[in-house]
Structure 1
Amino acid sequence: MSRPRYALYYAPAADSALWRFGSATLGYDALTGEDTSFAVPPGCEPAGWPALTEEPRRYGFHATLKAPFELADGRSEEQLRAFARNYAAGLESVPLAGLSVTALGSFVALTPSQPSEELQRFAFALVQAFEPFRAPLAETDKARRLKSPLTPAQHAYLEAYGYPYVGDAFRFHMTLTGSLPGEHATPVKQALETAYAAALPAGPVRLDRFALFKQDGRAARFRLIDYYLFG
């Protein structure tokens, strides 16, 4: 039986329009652990939408801060939660100019409308602060990561933090689709832009919390099990 995995994600408040939009797009509410009715973007085929969102649905609507990890020997979930509460108490919220629907390679995500050095510093500091809780990366997980082409810096990050996309390789994104066939990428992005504009007013976003997600086993979906408000 596989061990539980934990992840530190940004997830907006459960009563926010952003959480409702993301969860309905994926068809899964990670807080309740229940499937939801899909909000299929205009112009997209309802019958095909579940397949296009299958991969991100496993993780729930989020932006990765510290990627999934098993707990290090001698560490417990209770200790992780206590550390997270204390760590969040010393943080200040991080302002973003807004979020935009963006095509990142073959998938579509929400990304910051403007670069933010404050966000980059916050994310890397969090990765480093929680490193004592992370068990060494399993060889199977490491091999899976190495199937993707990595720069020397990303390879070093993988060795140091169990994830290659941290530090200057980090890009904040809230995934909305899985990998899309080439002919689908542009129309799906455009449809999600329309849906996002209709669901949320344009304007700044303030990151005022992070969340702890848990996966009971590798075949399970991730669940949001706690929020940690800054300050």
Structure 2
Amino acid sequence: MRYAICFTPPMADPLSATAASWLGRNVYSGEPAELPSVAGLSTADIAYHTAVPRRFGFHAVMMSPFRLHSERTEAQLLKALMHFAGAQTPFEVDRLEVARIGRSWGLVPQVPSAAMHLLAANVVQEFDAFRAPLSEDEIERSDPDRLTAPQFSNLYRWGDPHVMDEYRFHMMLTGPLANDALRQVEAPLRELFDPCLARPISIGSLALFVEQETGAPMRVHSQHPLGKISTNSRLERAKRAVVDPSIGSGAMRPLPLIVAALMAQR
């Protein structure tokens, strides 16, 4: 079994539903999803172009798939992830956009997020002790001869070339495509995803993904909210109270004062 620590939107988020339809698989349940009907692409085209990301599911990786260290257990990993997530502060990433990632398409921030970069680096550092050392076969599959010097160093230190300064937040929507397919897929992707990308995306949890056996589809094992749950709940209740005076005690206070008062309790 392998694990990965990632971000994926909540199950009820419209972006999750759209991505599940596009990829043909729900990353939470692991069940197949009905492919969308989009102009310019047949369902066979979509199934073919999404074969690679379908197996991994809709996510932005922070700690790539790893085997558990022989001296660690899943229960310890879950406990550590719960405590780590609880100590983080939720934040937002500026609007995502459909963009080329090499010869593939995916979602990337319009503006790079320093907060996401820092969170990803902290995840790798915090959970490196849970990762079993890479085998020679795993190192070879990373094609070390094609890596830059920093990527090569990351591979041997952290088990992944694309961490720390080499990390880029992205959510894959296709596998590598030929030139004609790259052009064919662009417009349908934008038509399908742009309505879900009108606002910043909230980074409010970390997801533990699992791969039951080599080559098996990955799915969400558990979601871990960022920040103290009780404080997050009070903040959300306070925001709603500004709009609806029937929530809470009735007397409305300015939102900045409510938020400041709650944050002072953390």
Q: Distance in 2 between matches of 1:192 and 1:73?
A: 42
Q: Kindly report which structure 2 residues correspond to 1:1-231, keeping only aligned pairs within 5 A, or say none.
A: 4-146=1-143, 149-198=146-195, 200=196, 202-231=198-227
Q: From the CA coordinates, give the structure whose radius of gyration is larger.
A: 2
Distance 1:169 1:41 in 2: 35
| Secondary structure in structure 2 of the residue aligned to 1:109 | strand
SS in 2 for 1:153: helix
Deviations 1:91-135 (A, max 9, x none): 011211110001111110000111121211111111111100000
Would the aligned equivalents of 1:102 and 1:109 in 2 still touch at CA under 8 Å? Answer: yes
Alpha carbons 1:94, 1:206 under 8 Å: kept: yes
The Cα shift of 1:162 comes to 0.6
Q: What CA distance in whole angstroms lies between the structure 1 residues aligned with 2:112 and 2:145?
A: 25
Report the alpha carbon displacement of residue 148 of structure 1 after superposing the two structures with TM. Answer: 6.6
**Does the C-alpha gap of structure 1 residues 129 and 181 become closer, same or farther in structure 2, counting only changes over 3 Å?**
same
Query: Deviation at 1:47?
Result: 1.8
Following superposition, the deviation at residue 40 of structure 1 comes to: 4.6
Q: So what's the TM-score if we normalise by structure 1?
A: 0.95
Q: Cα gap change, 1:186/1:164 in structure 2, threshold over 3 Å: closer, same or farther?
A: same
Moved over 6 A (4+): none
Question: 1:117-158: per-residue Cα shift (whole Å, max 9, x none)?
Answer: 121111111111110000001111110102672110000000
User: Using the alignment, how far apart are the partners of 1:172 and 1:148 within structure 2?
Assistant: 24
CA contact (8 A) 1:101 1:109 kept: yes
Of 184-193 and 87-96, deviating more is 184-193
Counting strand residues as a fraction of each chain, which structure ranks higher? Answer: 1
Q: What one-letter code is carried by the residue in structure 1 that aligns with 2:148?
A: T
- Decide which structure has greater helix share: 2
Secondary structure of the residue that 1:69 maps to in structure 2? Answer: strand
Change in Cα spacing, 1:138 to 1:207, as seen in structure 2 (3 Å) is: same
Give the length in aligned residue pairs. 227
C-alpha distance in 1 between matches for 2:52 and 2:37: 16
Unaligned runs of 5+ in 1: none
| Counterpart amino acid of residue 33 in structure 2 | T
Give distance in 2, aligned partners of 1:7 and 1:148: 25
Residue 201 of structure 1 and its aligned partner are, at CA, apart by: 5.1
Q: Which runs of 5+ in 2 are unaligned?
A: 228-266
